[in-house]
Chains A and B, each alone.
Chain A
């Protein structure tokens, strides 16, 4: 076999689950060449996971349905070989990392596959050590898997695959539950495997900036079909079309695409990194230095901030808390949230953000200091009573859902706070209809994104004074993410205080007015969003990467012109560049 013939080839593949009439994959033809690093992106329900299942042989061997066309792995039709034999070539990692584990200790997790595939016993120690070393988790060898963090578990899963020396790795949203730093490490690990061991990688991923940085090729799926397929540069030159599909573009690509639309630069070459964009802007502005000096005016702030005379509705006063029998603590937390304000809480995993949210909604009571919510001291008010004032949208909607129909589900919270059933259902109906939710459907029969919408509707219907969001956008595609955040913004405009814990710094910089930065159980700093993000020292101490636009603005201020100071939105940069060129 020559090196150019694909290791995975899909010929006109269509697949529908069970007896469903709507295909999850619709005439897909695709070839994956050995050594490629391919990213797959697309809105929810576009068929990304189905595509991964076809490549890994789980379709047709595990999931029932109707399959048409042919899928060839290493030249053999997946219908004609067993799943076990396909697995010798393709290692696959699914979304739910806990369900992926078959042992309770890291070492045993790696042994499982090695033993099963009959690797000679004298080679096993070497392979085991190699795999752990390559992924960089040799120190975790004896650890209980249950005690590891999400990022560490993900690496264990990769190492367990790696030990089997597959030629292809297929990963389904490996970073969905990870913070930005762990997500980058997972991708760096994959990139190294691809470069050094020649392993072909196919990865489904929603984080566009990671895809741009690491992939050779990006496939965009939409409604079961391949919408775009090419290098990141060609794919992201279609920013407008991607947006219509519900796929985000990196902010830097949006800047260059926007400059292109304004006729400032040549079309078709979007920037993919901060450095590229900086050079592009520097080139554009150079030679007009004199002009730019003259035209550079201090930017007006993008988001005008009305004075807020209102008293805080959430107030943490020197709050400390420690979990019994654990080192995890939060100390001396002090911050306020006022009506109509969106406050973002950022920081690495383990910084204490989740503890802060639980102190706010009363699931945890402070050991010292006090937490006041809508005038109530959380230590003196039962959690279930606080629920009338604080509504929480959890990261995993499935833990919130417990009723048989969407209408019952949305009305449930109101009924719990003592609103009469007819009135509660009436309010629930109007909110659910506004979100376009099917009132009589069972919540668990809906898609992940729709389940999140049901959970959000249950929050909105409460008309609470405080909304608490824990990773509101994880697991959602770009369009769903925007729907959630626009709804939250509307609630804030109506006078609700919003406190939002979020890993996605772009979302935080778009929607939060104030940002609280946490690390090691303490608040390192807080203030207006653009000031906090522009404080490079603070960001470094909290190990948080500022949004792309803010980083770009900082580099442009340093290298090009002070006029870029304080830019936090794509339009700020574009307007400033245009201002300098005219």
Chain B
């Protein structure tokens, strides 16, 4: 079972960038997407995200994420149609303004979700945490909490599917085709999942402490994360991207 945000090893420039630079790049694309107001730029930014993914060798995985994001985008589109009451009425509740702004909302959603995920795919979590501590001076305990939470996502989703299998085998109808019924059946499972996750985090905290967690300082990391020329170049590009978003 592969998870969407698993690290995909590689040796591309994108992989070799400082994790902080990658974070900045994702943030810049997101900021530009939020600021942009024209279709060409929104599409260009989305294309940039996919171009970067293709370069880093992970386009397939990113595309798989579309399966999750596109339905969300469609829902947003419908809401936009519902709530935009200006412009000429085309049909029923649909107005021309709604049709004009709806797709933008949909594109923005994709433009915000994908860059962050792409960045996580090409960065080891440990590197991300260490670089944030070294470069951004984030306290290590926050960086550790964040990466541990991310690391537990697939662990918990596996646990959830194991629980659902066990319940199906007992006769609970998780194999129903009705999604609302399925959701209703899933809610009671939060209890076993919560019980196991609280136990897990406790044990992880103990394990980390027994391996010297409290001794860790900003200088502890064996790998160093200096910002080199290519990082500065990409950071300059980030500023340009945001500026582009403001202008267009």
What residues make up the interface of A, taking CB atoms closer than 8 Å to B? 56-58, 61-62, 82-84, 87, 91-92, 94, 96, 98-105, 108, 111-118, 121, 124, 142, 144, 146, 160, 164, 325, 358, 361-363, 382-385, 387-388, 390-392, 394, 396, 398-402, 412-413, 416-417, 444, 458
* Contact status of A384 and B192, CB under 8 A, knowing A399-B166, A400-B166: no
A82-B189 Cα distance, complex, nearest whole Å = 39
Contact between A104 and B163 (Cβ–Cβ < 8 Å)? Answer: no
Give chain B's interface residue range (CB within 8 Å of chain A): 35 or more
Q: What residue of chain A has the Cβ atom nearest to residue B224's Cβ? A: A121
A98-B200 Cα distance, complex, nearest whole Å = 8
Contact between A402 and B192 (Cβ–Cβ < 8 Å)? Answer: yes
* Contact status of A62 and B206, CB under 8 A, knowing A104-B125, A384-B171, A398-B196: yes
* Contact status of A116 and B213, CB under 8 A, knowing A108-B126, A363-B165: yes
In the complex, which residues 209-238 of chain B have their Cβ closer than 8 Å to any Cβ of chain A? 209-216, 220-222
Contact between B124 and A104 (Cβ–Cβ < 8 Å)? Answer: yes
* Contact status of A392 and B171, CB under 8 A, knowing A83-B210, A103-B125, A115-B220: no
Q: Does B57 contact A (CB under 8 A)?
A: no
Contact between A116 and B168 (Cβ–Cβ < 8 Å)? Answer: no
CB<8 Å pairs between A and B, sample of 11: A84-B209, A84-B212, A99-B207, A102-B148, A102-B208, A104-B125, A112-B126, A116-B215, A362-B169, A384-B168, A387-B170
Q: Does B151 contact A (CB under 8 A)?
A: yes
What residues make up the interface of B, taking CB atoms closer than 8 Å to A? 2-3, 6-7, 9, 124-126, 144, 148, 151, 154-155, 159, 162-163, 165-176, 188-189, 191-192, 195-196, 199-204, 206-216, 220-222
Contact between B169 and A104 (Cβ–Cβ < 8 Å)? Answer: no
Among B172, B176, B204, point to the contact of A100 (Cβ < 8 A): B204
A118-B189 Cα distance, complex, nearest whole Å = 43
User: B209 contacts which chain A residues (CB < 8 A)?
Assistant: 61-62, 83-84, 87
A497-B49 Cα distance, complex, nearest whole Å = 57
Among A116, A164, A387, A400, point to the contact of B220 (Cβ < 8 A): A116
**What are the 3 closest A-B residue pairs judged by CB atoms, nearest first?**
A116-B212, A387-B171, A99-B203
Among B124, B191, B192, B215, point to the contact of A84 (Cβ < 8 A): B215
Contact between A99 and B204 (Cβ–Cβ < 8 Å)? Answer: yes
User: B172 contacts which chain A residues (CB < 8 A)?
Assistant: 384, 416
Q: What residue of chain B has the Cβ atom nearest to residue A100's Cβ? A: B207
A363-B161 Cα distance, complex, nearest whole Å = 11
Contact between B169 and A398 (Cβ–Cβ < 8 Å)? Answer: no
A117-B216 Cα distance, complex, nearest whole Å = 7
Q: What residue of chain B has the Cβ atom nearest to residue A143's Cβ? A: B9
* Contact status of A118 and B174, CB under 8 A, knowing A87-B210, A363-B169, A392-B169: no
Q: What residue of chain B has the Cβ atom nearest to residue A142's Cβ? A: B9
Q: What residue of chain B has the Cβ atom nearest to residue A82's Cβ? A: B214
CB distance from A151 to the nearest CB of B (A): 18
Contact between B222 and A444 (Cβ–Cβ < 8 Å)? Answer: no
User: A114 contacts which chain B residues (CB < 8 A)?
Assistant: 222
User: B203 contacts which chain A residues (CB < 8 A)?
Assistant: 94, 96, 99-100
Among A61, A92, A384, A413, point to the contact of B174 (Cβ < 8 A): A384
Among B162, B167, B212, point to the contact of A402 (Cβ < 8 A): B167
A388-B175 Cα distance, complex, nearest whole Å = 15
CB distance from B152 to the nearest CB of A (A): 9
CB distance from A546 to the nearest CB of B (A): 31
Contact between B168 and A383 (Cβ–Cβ < 8 Å)? Answer: yes
User: A164 contacts which chain B residues (CB < 8 A)?
Assistant: 211
Among A58, A87, A142, A413, point to the contact of B211 (Cβ < 8 A): A87
Contact between A384 and B154 (Cβ–Cβ < 8 Å)? Answer: no
User: B7 contacts which chain A residues (CB < 8 A)?
Assistant: 104-105, 144
Contact between B210 and A399 (Cβ–Cβ < 8 Å)? Answer: no
CB distance from B108 to the nearest CB of A (A): 31
Contact between B169 and A387 (Cβ–Cβ < 8 Å)? Answer: yes
